[in-house]
Chain A
Amino acid sequence: AQSVTQPDIHITVSEGASLELRCNYSYGATPYLFWYVQSPGQGLQLLLKYFSGDTLVQGIKGFEAEFKRSQSSFNLRKPSVHWSDAAEYFCAVGAGYSSASKIIFGSGTRLSIRP
C-alpha cells in the first residue's frame, strides 16, 4: 500500500521569498503524485500532478514540483510567494487507474506568509 509523508507541519515565509514544501512517498511501483491546496473553509483544489514523463511538472498559480525517484520525493516549489498563497497544502499519492485504487493524502503543511 502506498503512503505519503509531509515532514513540515507549518512553514512561514516572507512575501516574495521562494518556497519549497517537502513530500516523501512510499510505493513499490511508479506512483501517481499530486499536490492539492486548501484555502480556509474551502475544499481542496488540484495544483499539479505527475503520472509519467518529464519529472518537473508545472501547475497552476506558478507552482512546480519535481519527482525524484531516487529520493522518493515530490517537493513543491514556487519562486516568489504571494500573500494569497497562505493555505494548507497536501501531497497525495495514488496507485494508478484501477477499480480499487485509492488516493492517499499526507497530513498537510500549513503555509503562512509574513508581510
Chain B
Amino acid sequence: DTAVSQTPKYLVTQMGNDKSIKCEQNLGHDTMYWYKQDSKKFLKIMFSYNNKELIINETVPNRFSPKSPDKAHLNLHINSLELGDSAVYFCASSQAQGSGELFFGEGSRLTVL
C-alpha cells in the first residue's frame, strides 16, 4: 500500500494547456505539501495545507492553484502552462506542520512542449 501516491507519474503537454496532478496519502497525516524539483534537482516548496487549510503559499504564480478536498488529498491544477513549468512535482505529507519528517510521493514529471 503506497503511503503517498500521485497521479499521473508522467505528463507531456503543450504550452497554454491546463493540467492537474492528484495526490493522496493514507498515513493519517494532517499536513500536505507540493514541492517543485527543477532540472538541477533543486527542491522548492510551493504550498502546504494543514487540515485542508492553506498555510504556505510561496510566491507561486496564480496559474498554480492547489485544492484540498479533505486532509488526505491535495491536488494541483496548473493553468496556461509555460515552458518553465517543466519540472518534477512532488507531493509530501507530514504528521504536523514543520515536523520535517516528510513522506514523499514518487513525483510527477511534467514536460511542457
Chain A interfacial positions (CB closer than 8 Å to B): 32, 34, 36, 38, 41-46, 49, 88, 90, 92, 94-105, 107-108, 110
Name A97's contact: one of B40, B98, B103, B105 (CB within 8 Å). B98
Whose C-beta in chain B lies nearest to the C-beta of A33?
A: B100
Q: Are A49 and B56 in contact, CB atoms less than 8 angstroms apart? A: no
CB pair A45 B55 closer than 8 Å: no
Listed residue (B42, B100, B104) with the most chain A CB atoms within 10 angstroms of its CB: B100
**B43–A43 CB distance below 8 A:** no
Q: In this complex, what residue of B is CB-closest to A34?
A: B100
Q: Which residues of A contact B96 (CB under 8 A)?
A: 97
Q: Is there an interface contact between A103 and B90, defined as CB atoms closer than 8 Å? A: no
Contact assessment for A103 and B98 in the assembled complex, using a CB-CB cutoff below 8 Å: yes
Contacts of B32-56 to chain A: CB distance below 8 A: 40-45, 48, 50, 55-56
Q: Which residues of B contact A104 (CB under 8 A)?
A: 45
- Which partner residue on chain A sits nearest B91 by CB separation? A43
Q: Which 7 A-B pairs have the closest CB atoms?
A: A101-B98, A43-B104, A105-B43, A94-B100, A44-B104, A97-B98, A108-B41
Query: Across the interface, do B101 and A46 meet the contact criterion of CB distance under 8 Å?
Result: yes
**Cβ contacts under 8 Å, A110 to chain B:** 41
Chain A neighbourhood of B107, CB < 8 A? 41-43
Chain A CB within 8 A of B62 CB: no
Least CB separation from B109: chain A residue: A41
Which of B40, B50, B56, B106 touches A102 (beta carbons < 8 Å)? B56
List 5 other contacts, CB 8 Å, given A44-B43, A102-B98: A43-B104, A43-B107, A49-B100, A102-B58, A105-B44
CB distance from A102 to the nearest CB of B (A): 6
Task: Judge whether A32 and B42 touch: CB under 8 Å.
Answer: no
A97 and B41: CB pair below 8 A? no
Decide if B99 is an interface residue (CB 8 Å cutoff). yes
Interface: B72 (CB within 8 A): no
Whether the pair B100, A103 counts as a contact (CB closer than 8 A) is: yes
Cα distance A95–B101 when bound, in Å? Answer: 13
